[in-house]
Every structure is written in structure tokens, then in C-alpha cells.
Amino acid sequence: MKICGRKALLAAALALAMSLCPLAAHAEEPAQTALPVQWTEYGSSQTFTLTAPEAGSYALVMEYRAFESRSDFIELDVQVQNGQNALSLEGATLERPLEVLPIRQDSEGNDLRGGTELADVTVRRALSAPASPDQPWQMELAEGEVTVTVTAKRADFELLDLALEPVSESEAYAGPAEGYSPAGEAVVVQAEAVSTVSTSTLGAQYDRGGPSVQPSDPGRLVLNIAGGENWNQAGQWMEWQVEVPETGLYAVRFKARQNIKSGLASNRRLLVDGAVPCAEAEDIVFPYSADWQMVTLSTAEGEEVLLPLEAGTHTLRLEVVSGPTASAVTGLRTALNDLNGVYRQIVMVTGVNPDKNRDYSLGKLIPTLADDLAAGKAALEEQMAALEALAGQEQGDEMTTLNTLIVQLGSFVEDTESIPLRLANFKSNLDNLATWLNTLSQQPLELDYLVLDVPGSGREAEKAGFWENLVFSVKGLWASFFHNYDTTGSNENAQLEVWVGAGRDQMHILQEMIDETFTPATGITVQLSMVQQGVAEAVLAGEGPDAVFFAGNTEPANLAMRGALEPLDDYPGFEELKEQFQSQSFVPYEYDGLTYGVPFTQQFSMLFYRTDIFEELGLEVPKTWEDLFGIIPVLQRKNMQVGVPSSDQTFATLLFQQGGQYYNEDATATALGDNTAVEVFRQYTRLFSDYDLPLSYDFFNRFCSGEMPLAIADYTEYNRLTVAAPQISGLWEMALLPGTEQEDGSIDRSTLAGAGQGGYILATSEHKDEAWQLLQWFASAEAQAEFGKRSEAVLGSAGRYAAANQEAFRQLPWLADEQELLMTQWEAVRENPQPPGCYYMQRNLTNAFRQVVLDGQNPREMLDRYMDEVDRELERKRMEYSDIYHG
């Protein structure tokens, strides 16, 4: 049987087909270097010379072995020169295959994922464009020399071979292979027994929906399926090792469920021992179904595809493919981008909130408006028809969003002057379409098991009846009275009890790390409990644990002043640990000269801007606040806005850059009574009173739509935009915050840190030394980096860990230029101390701000008035807690 040509690029069995000239490094006189090449430097480039034996369509194939890395994938930019023909590919990714470790169990008998480790395998595959990661990047080349320059944006791999291979189509199934008899015994492979995955977000999952899933347990958490919503991006794959007992012909079936994309299917490609067996395996359709169903690899006529397999071990891989919806998604994204451009044109005339009594004459001011709207409507209708043909129905729940926008565009074409009255609704419909497109482009699928089946068996998915489901539910309810699902640990008699203020996934990751690393090294056993509310109350009542992890950074000082926490300064290794953090990180955890906690996370703001809009308007990224004040009216004249948080974080940023601070040296009184503070407060309030910046806004949606092309937001929004806003990919950047120019010409970019979490030890603990060993270990660079990588493996890139430990941060999968930018801003981040009564500071700054901005009061008078109240509260609390703290 011939291996399908289009996917044969992935087959490990393919021999080298093209000659490969020696490597040429970038230099004035390139040095010739023989393969293999170890590629460890991020941002480095290498140049290769290949040969196209004849004109035609080629794929660029790499054979490589991945190394351990801070990034979970390899990212490359490629430049190709073939005579006068120049081609480029940006952001091509190569996976780091991961071996899935065996499922473990906690002390309650619940299944836990065993984690992953880098697989020791050689990979041979074609490079793909980011827009089509499941298809090879095709190059139309002329006969002759081909120069390929590869830049590794994310490196850490050994390049073994680089070759040009012709692209060809797969051959259709031509019937059972000669010389093979039908198999007499089926082989069932449980999906949770996955052996290798393309990314650590994939693997076994829990399903407690009923007894029809194999295996199932009403009282325990059982890892009994694979895939789910994480297995939804084109190019992702999972592999299973299958022991075939006898040589023969086997049908391939999957017990699967796709109940997320109503009316639409998910699609997968099947590879057997590294190769696609036939064209039918290129795109296996898993239709929408609310329940489990059996899907069989078949021809278009419904004939079972029978695979000839020899007795022994075989590898089955299922890879996500875009399927027939890919072209519709591409067309809809193009139409959405065009319509967002039309929306921005309208907003430049009417503003975000048009006057309903005004005639804007949009048809005259935007002559192409009606034609642009009609073109957008036609494009949406074309793609909707394609999707309805795929869904096999005229309407469906999934089409409602699209149809609503089409109807609205039709009414706009008929009467453009009605647009201002419905502009907010138009914007909402565009946002809904963008969200729906993200869902539409995904290919989620759950698998219960795979079967190499006896041909013609007629196997169907097992379904539980009413009584079976009822009994299962009752047993589950009964078990919930005796089973603690919020606790995990080595055993019930663990030496340390730790409360964790994070989610269940993070708690399990932490427990895995403790069991794998900390307990074997120290002999100290630990039990974790997920407790997210009432921690302070329990601690003060004397009912607390030995330590608390992932508590808010305002909590340690609040408890320390009440004598509830253990100071950490004299513990061995404390000073060495502090050196791994930014200089201000420990400030919120200090009280009366002692330190009562260790930071785990620290967040801060960055500046985000839309490069396309800035280029269109001829604007430059603001370096100082004066630059920012100059940009605001330019954008506002186009009815666009600048996003600056109205919280006291903006006031603190301006204040710190002017050399001011919130409190005096010993934090016993405010330091906001001088002229500098008053002038900063006046400047802060003017942003919202004189410049009319919005007091609140949805950064993500308004930035994506272009209404707010310049905004200050937490740096964690970078990953959210990267993952959840593909429609503006390449149209935005992150930059340093605007600063204040100093006398020497330098720019001070000081800013107040955002949210943060840390850990502390209770004064009532009977195991303080052991608790310190745990806290010291987890706050270390090695443990924090590992926790961050494992968390991202579960939550995805959008949930990247905001490590406070700077050595750990350097090991997280940021690109070099991203990391350098963040580290530069991070060095200017400052923290405020947390003296008794500090809660009154933020409250009264907000009160003063509202009086000035909303009621037009005098800034100096309001600041003086409310800071007097803060001083009185600070003095009262200081006296109150001084007696408690000092006994």
C-alpha cells in the first residue's frame, strides 16, 4: 500500500531524498559546517544551500531532536531564495514530543496525571505556516539552487537534516491488501493510556458523566478519557502504543464525543507507525453528538477501511486537522477585519457614543460606506452558506451570531443614517462574531477508547440506561459525604498541613512536585488543602495550618501585626533566597523591620499599542507622559480613546516618577502633603476630567476593535492577546510604560506593582523548621520555574505564571526580546509598605479622586482633607496593634 504523499512528510521511515549542501553561517565569509548542528541560541540564524532537481511544488522538511528548554515548542522564521523568487515563513513551530508518565493516585485514591517528560525521539516533519499548522508549507520552486536561511526564535534542538521534498496527494483506499486475512480478535486501547503527545496540555482527563465511560467510578476521580477542550488546535496530536496479537486486517473505530460545536464536526488525521495509510485517514469526521458515538474509518461510500497490520507493537497517532471549516473561518476572519475597519471609520465620525439627535451624514462623509457594508454582508453570507452545507441544515444555534450580523448589515445598507443609533449593537455583534470564530476554528474531541476491530463487527458505543445512570448518581452523592475532593497529600498523618489559595489544578501540580522532589529530599510529608476564603479568620481563631501558600500580598502584614505569623529573617538561607527577587518584592511582606512572607507572584503594567493604527495616523510610541498627553487629542479627534487605569496605581506611577512616596520613612504617616504630591494628584485627575479618559473600560475588547489603540494594562494581557485575539496578530506591540524625564536626560519609569501572592508560616505551627524548608524550596528559582511550566502545560499560554522570582522568570517560555522588555520595566517596579490602617489610603485616594473628577472639587483641598483622615486612622491602628504585636 502506498503511503499518502502529502503526509508522508511526517513518516520516520522516509529516506533522505535530496542532496544537502554544507551549512553556511551568517558572516562576511561563511564558514562551512557539517550537519548535525546543535541550535541553542535564541535569535541565531543559519544559512543552508539545497537543490530543487526540477520545477515544482516542494515542502521544506526538517529532521531534528529536541532538547530540554524553557519553551515547550521550537519557533522558526525562514527565508528562501530561489533565483529571483524570494519566499518567507514567519512563526513556524516544531513540537517537542513528550512522553506521558503513568497515572498516579493520591491518598484518597483519586487518579492524578503522571506528568510528562521530553521524549527521546527523532522527528522528521515538514514546516507549516502558522495559519495552517496541519498542512505543509508549499513552495513553488524553479529547478536549481535554493538558499534557505533559518532563524530560531525559540531554539534548543539538534538539526539533523534539512531537505526539499515534493508535495503530492494521498491515494484513496483501494480495498483490502492482498495476502492478509481478517483479524479474529479485537484490540481495545483505553484513550487515557496515551503514550506520547505533541504538547503537555494534552493527555488523560476526568469524566464523571455516567457509567458508560470505561472505566468509571462514582466515588473517585478517575482519569478515563483523553482529549477534551484542550485538544482543539490544528497540528496537536496524541499517540498510543498498541500490541497487535496476530497479523491480519483490522477495522479502526473510535468511541468519541464532540458535544461543543453544535451542528459542526471535529476532524482528525490518523497515522499508523508514522504514516497516513490512505486518503480517507487524512480527514476523519467526528460529527456533533451530545452522547458518545462510535466512529469508524470508512470510505465516502461507507465501506470500512481495513488496515493490514503485522503482529507486534504499532503506533497510532490522531492529529487535529482544520477540516472543511478552515476556508470558511479564513473568509470570516477577513470579513471581520474589514468590518472592524468600517466600524473604526464610523467611530472617527460619530464617536463611541453618538448623539441620537444629530444627523451625521455618514453617507457623505464616508462615500464608500454602503458599498463596504454590502461587501461585508455578501462575504458573510457566502461563508454562512458554506457552513450550513457542512452542518447539513439551514439554521443552527451556532449560526445565530452570524445571521444576526448579516441582518443588521442589510438594514445598514438600506439606511446608513440609522447606524449611529445602533452603533453599540453593531460593535457588540462584531465582538460576538470574533468570539464565535475562536470557537469555530477549534476542533475539540473526547475519546473513551480506540479499537483495532474485527472487520464487520458492527460494534457500537455503550450507552447506560436510566436505572444505571440513577444508581451511579446516587452512589456518587453518597460518596461525596465521605470523600474530600479539596484535599490531596501523601497521607493523612503528614507532618505539614498547608492551605493553598489557588485552583485545584495548581494544587495538584504543587502536590506532584512535593511528592517527586521535596519529600524524597527531606523526608517531610505534606498535605495540601484548597482553602480560598476565610483564611485570615481561621488563622486568628487558632484553627490554621502550618503554612499558607498563594495568599494575597496584603495578608501577611495584616496578620503579622496581630502576632499570628512567624518572622523569617533568621532562618537559614533567607538572605540568599531574597537575592533571587526584585529589590521591592518583599516590601509588602515586611512589618516593623521583620519579614513575614515570601512572594510567589508579582504583576505590573506595560503599555500596549496598535501598530496598524499608529502607522496609519503617523504616531510614535510615547516615551514620556508629555508624549502621551500629546497623543490623546490626536486619537480623540478620530473618536478613539487612550486607556489609563483610573485606580491609584496611575497616581502612584506619576508620584514615584516625581520622587514622591505614599508614606514617611517609618510608615507612620502619609507623605502626600507637599507640593509635588499635590501637583501629581492634579495631573492624575486631569487625565479624566480635562482629557476625558474613560474611568472604566474593557481593555481586551476595545483594544481588539481598535477603539482604544493605546492602553496601559497588566503585562499578563500579552499572552491573552496572543492566544485569544488571532484577528489582530501582528498588529500590536507591547512597550515600556511612559516615564518622566529627569534632569540628566534619563527617563524614570517607576510604577506601582499590581497584584501579587505569596506564602507565610503561622506562629502557632509546631513544625516551623519543616515549614520553612518547604517555603524556601517552593520559592526557589528551580521550583518556581518548574511550577510555572507545569501550570502553563495545564492552563495554556494564556495562563502563564507571573513568577516573582526573577531567576525563575528567566526560565519561563518568553521570547528573548519579550523577556528583555519585561525585565527592563520590572526593575522600575516599586511596592508600597503595609502599615496598620493602610487600607484607608487607597479608600481615601479614591474618595478624593471622585470628588475632583465627578464633582469638580479643588484637588489640593480634597487631597489634604482625605489624607488627614488617613493620618488619623494610621495613628489609631498603630496604637491599637502596637500593644498586640509587642505583647
DSSP conformation letters of 642-693: EE---SHHHHHHHHHHTT--SB-TTSSSB---SHHHHHHHHHHHHHHHTS--
DSSP 8-state code for residue 338 = H
Mean pLDDT of the region 422-427: 90
More confident residue, 130 or 249: 249
Task: Look at the alpha carbons of 193, 197, 200, 203 in this order and tell me if their dihedral is positive or negative.
Answer: negative
For the stretch 647-673, pLDDT in tens is: 989 999 999 999 999 999 988 999 998
pLDDT at 222 over 90: no
Following DSSP, what letter does each residue of 79-110 receive, concatenated? EEEETTEEEEEEEEEEE--EEEPPPEE-TTS-
Contact between 415 and 145 (Cβ < 8 Å)? no
Set of cell numbers at residue 415: 439606511
Residue 377, number of CB atoms within 10 A of its CB: 20
For residues 163 and 17, what is the distance between their CA atoms, to the nearest angstrom? 7
Contact between 676 and 659 (Cβ < 8 Å)? yes
**Each residue of 100-133: b (16+ CB within 10 Å) or e?**
beeeeebbbebbbbbbbeebeeebbbbbbebbbb
Set of cell numbers at residue 230: 484542550
pLDDT at 532 over 50: yes
DSSP 8-state code for residue 554 = T
* DSSP reduced 3-state for 17: coil
pLDDT band at 41 (very low <50, low <70, confident <90, very high): confident
Contacts of 693 (CB under 8 A, 6+ apart): 632, 641, 642, 643, 644, 646, 687
Contact between 449 and 461 (Cβ < 8 Å)? no
Closest among 740, 687, 741 to 710, alpha carbons compared:
687
For residues 730 and 791, what is the distance between their CA atoms, to the nearest angstrom? 26
Cis peptide before 215 (omega within 30 of 0): yes
More confident residue, 476 or 4: 476
Closest among 654, 622, 644, 836 to 740, alpha carbons compared:
654
pLDDT band at 32 (very low <50, low <70, confident <90, very high): very low
Residue 683, number of CB atoms within 10 A of its CB: 18
Q: What pLDDT is recorded for position 89?
A: 93
Mean pLDDT of the region 423-450: 88
Work out the burial of residue 460: count CB atoms within 10 Å of its CB; fewer than 13 is exposed, 13-18 middle, 19 or more buried.
exposed
More confident residue, 38 or 113: 38
For the stretch 235-289, pLDDT in tens is: 999 999 999 999 999 999 999 999 888 778 899 999 999 999 999 999 999 998 9
Mean pLDDT of the region 183-192: 94
Q: What pLDDT is recorded for position 168?
A: 84
Distance, C-alpha 630 to centroid of its chain: 34
* Secondary structure element (H or E) that encloses residue 796, with its range: none
Mean pLDDT of the region 356-371: 89
pLDDT band at 887 (very low <50, low <70, confident <90, very high): low
For the stretch 840-869, pLDDT in tens is: 999 999 999 999 999 999 999 999 999 999
pTM of the predicted model as reported, rounded to 2 decimal places: 0.78
Per-residue three-class SS string for 356-416: CCCCCCHHHHCCCHHHHHHHHHHHHHHHHHHHHHHHCCCCCHHHHHHHHHHHHHHHHHHCH
pLDDT at 19 over 50: no
pLDDT band at 883 (very low <50, low <70, confident <90, very high): low
pLDDT at 565 over 60: yes
Residue 36, number of CB atoms within 10 A of its CB: 14
For the stretch 707-744, pLDDT in tens is: 899 999 999 999 999 888 877 888 999 999 999 999 89
Average pLDDT, the chain: 88
Inter-CA distances, 73 with 55, 93, 153, 156, 157, Å: 32, 7, 10, 9, 10
pLDDT at 390 over 80: no
Helices (H), 658-795: 675-689, 699-705, 717-724, 768-779, 781-795
More confident residue, 265 or 28: 265
Mean pLDDT of the region 630-646: 93
pLDDT at 337 over 60: yes
pLDDT at 481 over 90: no
pLDDT band at 5 (very low <50, low <70, confident <90, very high): very low
Dmax (CA) of the chain: 95
For residues 613 and 342, what is the distance between their CA atoms, to the nearest angstrom? 13
Q: What pLDDT is recorded for position 392?
A: 63
Q: What pLDDT is recorded for position 58?
A: 95
Mean pLDDT of the region 90-108: 87
Q: What pLDDT is recorded for position 2?
A: 35
For 543-546, the CB contacts below 8 A with 24+ separation are 544/499, 544/762, 544/764, 545/496, 545/497, 545/498, 545/499, 545/762, 545/765, 546/496, 546/497, 546/498, 546/761, 546/762, 546/765, 546/766, 546/767, 546/768, 546/770, 546/771
Set of cell numbers at residue 749: 519609569
Q: What pLDDT is recorded for position 25?
A: 33
Mean pLDDT of the region 535-543: 77
pLDDT at 405 over 80: yes
Contact between 112 and 513 (Cβ < 8 Å)? no
Strand extents, DSSP E, 464-545 = 487-489, 496-500, 526-530
* Residue bearing cell 458554506: 386
Q: Cα angle at 539 between 872 and 648, to 5 degrees?
A: 40
Residue 490, number of CB atoms within 10 A of its CB: 19
Set of cell numbers at residue 690: 480635562
Q: What pLDDT is recorded for position 607?
A: 97
Q: What pLDDT is recorded for position 605?
A: 96
Find the Cα–Cα–Cα–Cα dihedral 479, 481, 485, 487, rounded to 10°.
-130
Residue type, 596: Y
